[in-house]
Chain A
Amino acid sequence: MTGWIEKNRSILDFTLSSLLRRKGKNLSLFAVYTLVVFMLGSAMFLTQAMKREAALILKDAPEIVVQRLLGGRYDPIPLEYSEKIRAIRGVSTAGPRLWGYYYDPVIGANYTLMVPRTDAPPPEKIIIGSGVSRSRKAGQGDIFSFRGYDGDNRNFTVAGELSPESELVSADLILMAEADFRGLFGFPAGQATDIVVSVRNPKEVLTIARKVAELLPDTRPIVRDEMVRTYDSVFDWRGGIVVVLLMMALLAFVIFAWEKASGLSADEKREIGILKAIGWETSDVIAVKAYEGLLVSFFSFSAGLLAAYGHVFFFSAFLFVPALKGWSVLYPEYRITPFIDLYQVAVLFFLTVVPYTVATIIPSWRAAIIDPDSVMRS
């Protein structure tokens, strides 16, 4: 056993000497490899963490939202629908929500105007999200002027701000009173944007949603699972696009690694011949190549992984922000909670280290079976 350890350490010594003499080449390989792991890892960490965070944040979202559809698009829903829904067995509450969008030409952003069903601000007062206050540089006591459906301007005084911690869900929100909302948009009385439904037994959500769809055929119920799954698929898609792009980079990298490993130079072949001639076995030569791959992979993988972690969770994925943000004005400022697990790291490992290892070990095996007398023949 000690002999085995000593032998492998000695082979490792030789591998390191051998790597160090092609410093430039191996460092550039390390840099490219690290970069690939970093990019893939960042994309993966970001999308996974956002998915988990969205699921956690939205766990108390309304259980069912009922929209009315008109011509395939959605339309204000009559208030009496909420009575009908409430009459369904198993429904505990059903109430109308009022919300809509307002485009602010001053800063070029879309606000979400909304009437909270509890603690709504008094008339002509608004409560703004921190994204709004930041981009408008507005605080308590400032006045917002909104142009109504009829062309008249209406003034609202900022009475408070939503907590900056909730920015991820509230950056663009403006809360106002119901009368102000209806007056501003000309939203007809007796109608609401949609209806939120809560259910007594969570297991019955789907049954109740189906009953709603049967009772009110012009509506579309959206259950909470679907909302959360929307975020799953949004981030899957988002991550997927990035991963597809990065896969091409990965492929190019694997081809590069294969090329490097299979295109053994005459010098390297001679060297393997020398080792064989002085008593190294095929397995010893393969061990050298395997350690070489292992060392490069291990150090690149851990460096890339740590860099990705720092990038996403300490620096809020600042390199990806331009792509995520686009020309969004009200993009929330948030620090991402590090939801990572071994599974993700393992996936990343299989996406990067395995292809590299396969691409380098196979050609080196071919080189390692050089006959020991090849050095004598040349």
Chain B
Amino acid sequence: MIKLLNVRKGFNLGRPNEFIAVGGVTLAMEANRVTVLKGPSGSGKTTLLSLIGCMARPTSGRITLRRGLLAGGYFPGGADAPEVEVTSLPERFLTEVRRRTFGFIFQQFNLVKGITVLENVMLPAYPLGEAHGAVKKRAHALLEMFDLAGRAVAKVEWLSGGEAQRVAIARALMNDPPVIIADEPTAHLDSKLSVAFMEIIARLKEQGKTAVIASHDPLVFGAPMVDRVVAVRDGLIDGEGQ
């Protein structure tokens, strides 16, 4: 369970170009559910995603994660407290949270060019210091799962759109995170690939993963496996769908 309590995020505060991207959001997301943040571009949904994914800190408000989501590592706040407030954690713990709790799928996939598919998938595991052989095996397994076994040594710029998308998902799953965060994942995909993407999300949900997706694509928020649609507008929650 991820809870946001009156979360605000502003940029360039106190300057003439100050603007508030997220203006006081309270939201609770259940585990093992697919939640879509729906809204036009500039509505603040991407900022909301980066706050949830511990990439940025809110200006005010609190974000708490259920302890079960914080795999591995020691986190302050008492071993048996059911929830951990991530907004007050020091930076190195946030990095740890980003590594182990969240898998990120970006707009345009953001694969690292010039290196192989396999290396791209392995990248999130590098700073963890796991044995190379085990990491490589896991990456191969993920590639196989997404029908990419034959493309392991290909450079990412040689991939088709669908393949790049699947590599991005494989990379997000590398550290086996409980939560998948996707920012406009279908923005550069045609309808067929968008549907395929949502089917993969459905499979991940079956495996017990939680997904938070920001999108304004009807193929995403209208998909059957989506449990909840939260409309976002001007940095505020603007109603809920199914």
Contacts and interface: CB of A to CB of B under 8 A. Distances in A.
Question: Do the two chains belong together in a single complex?
Answer: yes
Interface of A: 2-7, 9-11, 13-14, 17-18, 21-22, 267, 270-271, 274-275, 277-281, 284, 371-373, 375-377
A17 B132 contact: no
A377 B107 CA distance: 10
Interface in B93-123: 95, 98-100, 104, 106, 110-116, 119, 122-123
A6 B129 contact: yes
A14 B123 contact: yes
Contacts of B114: 17-18, 21-22
Contact of A6 (B92, B106, B132, B175): B132
B214 to A, nearest CB: 9
Contacts of A376: 46-47, 49-50, 55, 106, 183
Contact of A17 (B56, B111, B115): B115
Given A6-B130, A7-B127, A11-B126, A373 B55 contact: yes
B135 A10 contact: yes
Nearest to B171: A278
Contacts of B111: 274
Chain B residues touching A, majority SS: helix
B79 interface: no
Interface of B: 46-47, 49-50, 55-56, 92, 95, 98-100, 104, 106, 110-116, 119, 122-132, 135, 171, 175, 183
A371 B130 CA distance: 25
A347 B147 CA distance: 56
B115 A371 contact: no
Nearest to A7: B129
30 contacts: A6-B132, A7-B126, A7-B129, A10-B132, A13-B119, A17-B115, A17-B119, A18-B114, A18-B115, A21-B113, A21-B114, A267-B113, A271-B112, A277-B106, A278-B98, A278-B99, A278-B123, A278-B171, A279-B99, A279-B124, A279-B127, A280-B95, A280-B123, A371-B55, A372-B50, A372-B55, A372-B98, A373-B56, A375-B106, A376-B106
Top-6 shortest CB links A-B: A21-B114, A279-B99, A3-B129, A7-B129, A373-B55, A10-B126
Given A2-B129, A17-B114, 9 more contacts: A6-B130, A14-B123, A278-B98, A278-B123, A279-B95, A279-B98, A279-B100, A281-B95, A372-B55
Contacts of A14: 115, 119, 123, 126
Contact of A281 (B50, B124, B127): B127
A14 B123 CA distance: 8
A377 B48 CA distance: 11
A125 B149 CA distance: 90
Contacts of A3: 128-130
Contacts of A11: 126-127
